[in-house]
């Protein structure tokens, strides 16, 4: 498992860890039942605080990407990949519905919404300084 974090990107470190582990799991680079490093080992390897790694693991566990066995460690949970991806798509659809609703208040049509989307897409890079 390779995790690379940036201290200067502005994105909270625990969030970077969460995202990277999620990506690894969804892409199949980590298999079900595979053991993750302990929060302390991860803290040491990444040279960050143990509270940060703990927070990341807790969030991952909350979202059912991993599970923990007390005394043993944390493991990759069984992923229902298609269900997850479908879930995420549904979430995005909901968000878009909200956007469309707001745009209607300003009488924006599809073309204008698409234009705004393009602009924001080009400018928005979660990896840059905020």
Q: Where do contacts with other proteins occur on this chain (CB under 8 A)?
A: 10, 12-14, 38, 40-41, 43-44, 47-52, 55, 129-130
Nearer to other proteins, 62 or 130 (CB): 130
The phi, psi pair for 122, rounded to 5°, reads -70, -35
Beta carbon nearer to other proteins, 49 or 87 = 49
Task: Report the residue number, 11 or 61, with the smaller CB distance to other proteins.
Answer: 11
Q: How many whole angstroms separate alpha carbon 61 and alpha carbon 55? A: 10
Q: Is 16 exposed, middle or buried (0-12, 13-18, 19+ CB in 10 A)?
A: buried
Q: Nearest distance from residue 105's CB to other proteins, in Å? A: 20
Q: How far is the CB of 43 from other proteins (least distance, A)?
A: 7
Question: Smallest distance from the beta carbon of 81 to other proteins, in angstroms?
Answer: 31
CA distance 48 to 51: 9
47/101 with CB nearer other proteins: 47
Listing DSSP states for 75-103 in one string gives: EEPPP-HHHHHHHHHHHHHHHHHHHHHHH
Residue 37 Cβ, how far from other proteins at the closest point, in Å? 11
């Amino acid at each position: 498992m390779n995790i690379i974090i940036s201290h200067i990107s502005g994105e909270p470190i625990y969030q970077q860890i969460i995202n990277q582990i999620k990506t690894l799991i969804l892409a199949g680079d980590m298999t079900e039942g595979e053991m993750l490093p302990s929060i302390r080992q991860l803290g040491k390897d990444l040279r960050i605080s143990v509270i940060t790694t703990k927070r990341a693991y807790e969030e991952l566990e909350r979202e059912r990407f991993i599970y923990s066995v007390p005394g043993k460690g944390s493991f990759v949970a069984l992923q229902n990949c298609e269900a997850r991806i479908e879930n995420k798509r549904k979430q995005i659809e909901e968000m878009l519905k909200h956007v469309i609703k707001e745009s209607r208040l300003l009488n924006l049509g599809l073309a204008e919404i698409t234009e705004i989307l393009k602009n924001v897409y080009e400018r928005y890079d979660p990896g840059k300084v905020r």
